[in-house]
Structure 1
Amino acid sequence: MKLIASLLALGLWAGGSQAALAQARILPERPYLEPTAAGASANFDVLITNDKAWPVEVSEVTVTTLDTGGAAVLERRIDGNGFAPAIETIANRVLAPGETRLFFNPFPELPGDVAASAMRVRVTLERVTKEGETAPAGEVPTVVEAKAVFASAPAWTRKLVLPVEGRVLVWDGHDLLSHHRRFDTQHPFLKQMGIGANAMRYSYDLAPVDAEGRMAAGDAARNESYLGFGRPVRAPADGVVVAALDSRPDDKSFDPGDLKEAPNALFGNYVVIRHADGLFSILGHIRQASLKVKVGDPVKAGQPVAAIGASGSSLFPHLHYQLMTGPSMRDEGAPSGFAGLTRVRGAVRTPVVNGAIDSGDVVEGR
């Protein structure tokens, strides 16, 4: 997707906001502990506010994992120790007086043998001084803490149908460095648009590929060169269509200002399906005039509902899929997993037992 690029072009992607809130807070308040191929993943953000009258800098972040009895079983940290300090991997660490800034959990992946019930994050803030200035004698760094108790991922979401049949590349998923994950909900523009949650927290960009792993053959500037363009899009689970649009052209563009009135506008054309447990699927960037369903229609898992296109904030023809707690980009994301998948790594083919896929995976669904 090109939302971040669009904000950069408008000079709006600066990060942070001015506010006077609690010093440390985890978002969402009850994050999911997502099952993955390597173990569990704690996908959440940490909101830090500088309540001082001077600028401060994040100098250390410690993440402690708690077991079901509340005991600490794993602790990891990023600090300023050494000639190439790890804390420098965290961007925009200086907060102005009164500023609130969002930081992503730097240690989301947990070992498979850790049964976690909660995480505690401790952030150390040190005064930033001007050249020639010194901090007051005896002043110690400020330490702020936040704790989150995990919500269990809905069990049925491990049984979804992959919305695209055949061999598919997860061009971008929701690993720590993916653009879906690195969505700054505190950005002034997003707040102005009324978007305060990350609905893309567990999303996927799915692109059909051939046996050589190629997404396109021929002129990559033409939608028709992509193997996925026009490929059927399927409902991932039973449900009811609650929103649908296919009037936008497949021109890989959208107006960011439309998000205020239409928070799903970045997807161009889309289908939103409400499932029985109250979660919602959105299938985005679908092809113009390809809808096979309308609002109010019931759908079954695997039923064709549209076709892959390049509408909205799309770099190339592909399908964007995500599960959410509500019907729009103003809601939070929820984890999803898929049944009947085979992971393809060269000549090695392996069943995806727990349904977990992410960035870089090539899978085949039926």
Structure 2
Amino acid sequence: MLRCRLAQVLVASGVLAAAFGANAGARAEPDAHSITPLDIRILRPASVVPATDGRHLVFEALISNFSPVPMTLATVRLGTVAQPAALARFEGAALTALLSRPGRPSGDGQPPVTIIQGNTYAAALFDVHLGDDAEVADLRLALTIAPFKPDLPDTTLNTAVAVPLDRATPVVVSAPVAGTGWVAFNGLSATSIHRTTVMVVDGQARVPERYAIDFMRLTGDGREFGGDQARNESWPGYGQAVLAVADGVIESVRDGFPDNVPGRPPAQKVTLDTIAGNQVVLRMKGGAYAFYAHLIPGSIPVRPGQAVHKGEVLGRLGNSGQSDAPHLHFQVGDGGHIAASDGLPFVFDAFTLLGVVADTAAADAGGAWTPSQAPQPRHGQLPAENAVTGF
């Protein structure tokens, strides 16, 4: 006699939803159950982060297909038990932008990112702008799957999963640099290279750069560089002091990596050990870690185990490691290694918002940025991507 467990029958036969009576118009009750082959895992609890462009709800979900049958995502809804799509609804182009497929080969001939092949997965990177009065309690994430078998209803609904919420307030830090005209390149957004980098370190998927910022200073006339672009000294941030953002103890220091030539490949082969170049890791009171990367070789005056105070000089902004122009890579995490940690939300206690660099390609080509607003004092916020700030 052929023996097969119930779950094997349901997954292999493709009658997942039909077997449990799902239909096109069905809406799951809070305590209802459904079977689909999609497993939804939240990487870390969602955080609400106050930023210069409003509140952001930030988290990631890994969506795995446990069947051999391709599943096509039609809609993703984020809301509450009472209002399933109150916060966001993703479909069409918005759904495509939400999803990524780490490890999938690039190029033509690949199926749409919304199609999750059998025994593969997709990553959904959420960065949802919240209204001032948006309710974020009892969060639920639900998926709508297109028909995957003849005679199924138009849509098959996966039971919504709870999204845990991190209710801790973001880490409050002071300025890592001083002066005006600092651009928060690759800062908080749904599409920045920091936000979309999922790294697997020590056997765990993490987003260490989830809230990271590449601080680059503009010249007095609003340009990234003045003079010869290939000279580090032409970039106004080069050599600027990098400051302790809080009282704490130096966790680790790396030094001795050469500065790169702007616009050229790194002088040092990029590995997990060299990616940050010359760096300082500060263990702050409370247990979070502040990371400073790409410093000038020989510019770091502090040593591991040394106690430092807020505002103390930790090094000089440079262009070492995986960097193509002088800037300070700054992030906060839950562990002492810049890649083997998970990015934590943080805010600056005080800064001035001067505007936003709307055209980064023009800025990279040497174009001048001009402010389009009066300076605005901000407190307890994180600069959003490409915001121009002063400290």
TM-score by length of 1: 0.80
Amino acid at match of 1:145: A
Corresponding residue of 2:34: none
Corresponding residue of 1:173: 187
After superposition, residues 1-366 of structure 1 pair within 5 angstroms as 23-28=39-44, 30-65=45-80, 74-80=86-92, 86-90=94-98, 92-105=113-126, 108-126=128-146, 135-138=149-152, 141=156, 143-154=158-169, 157-158=171-172, 160-167=173-180, 168-185=182-199, 190=200, 194=203, 196-251=205-260, 253=266, 254-256=268-270, 258-259=271-272, 262=273, 265-328=274-337, 329-345=339-355, 346=371, 348-365=374-391
Q: CA deviation at 1:174?
A: 2.0
8 Å contact kept, 2:177–2:242: yes
The alignment of Structure 1 onto Structure 2 pairs a total of residues equal to 318
Q: CA deviation at 1:279?
A: 0.4
1:138/1:358 CA distance change after superposition, 3 Å: closer
Q: CA deviation at 1:72?
A: 6.1
Amino acid at match of 1:24: I
Corresponding residue of 2:5: none
Q: Which runs of 5 or more structure 1 residues have no equivalent in the other structure?
A: 1-20, 129-134
SS of the equivalent of 1:109 reads: strand
Q: Hey, what's the Cα distance between the residues in 1 that align with 2:188 and 2:381? A: 15
Q: Hey, what's the Cα distance between the residues in 1 that align with 2:120 and 2:83? A: 33
1:214/1:308 CA distance change after superposition, 3 Å: same
Q: Hey, what's the Cα distance between the residues in 2 that align with 1:25 and 1:138? A: 26
Q: Hey, what's the Cα distance between the residues in 2 that align with 1:22 and 1:146? A: 11
TM-score by length of 2: 0.75
Q: Hey, what's the Cα distance between the residues in 2 that align with 1:302 and 1:335? A: 21
Q: CA deviation at 1:194?
A: 4.2
Q: CA deviation at 1:221?
A: 1.8
Corresponding residue of 2:363: none
For each residue in 1:92-114, what CA deviation from the matched residue of structure 2 results, as whole angstroms up to 9, or x when unmatched?
22212111221112x51110122
Q: CA deviation at 1:65?
A: 4.3
Amino acid at match of 2:196: R
RMSD over aligned Cα, in angstroms? Answer: 2.3
8 Å contact kept, 2:77–2:85: no
SS of the equivalent of 1:214 reads: coil
Amino acid at match of 1:55: P
8 Å contact kept, 1:175–1:359: yes
8 Å contact kept, 1:308–1:317: yes
8 Å contact kept, 2:78–2:84: no
Q: CA deviation at 1:79?
A: 2.4
For each residue in 1:121-149, what CA deviation from the matched residue of structure 2 results, as whole angstroms up to 9, or x when unmatched?
11223356xxxxxx322365352532222
For each residue in 1:270-295, what CA deviation from the matched residue of structure 2 results, as whole angstroms up to 9, or x when unmatched?
10010110100000111111111011
Sequence identity percentage: 25
Moved segments of 4+, more than 4 Å? 70-73
Moved more, 309-318 or 112-121: 112-121
1:173/1:86 CA distance change after superposition, 3 Å: closer
Q: Which runs of 5 or more structure 2 residues have no equivalent in the other structure?
A: 1-36, 100-112, 356-370
Moved more, 196-205 or 246-255: 246-255
Q: CA deviation at 1:73?
A: 8.5
SS of the equivalent of 2:275 reads: helix
Amino acid at match of 1:45: E
Question: Which has more radius of gyration?
Answer: 2
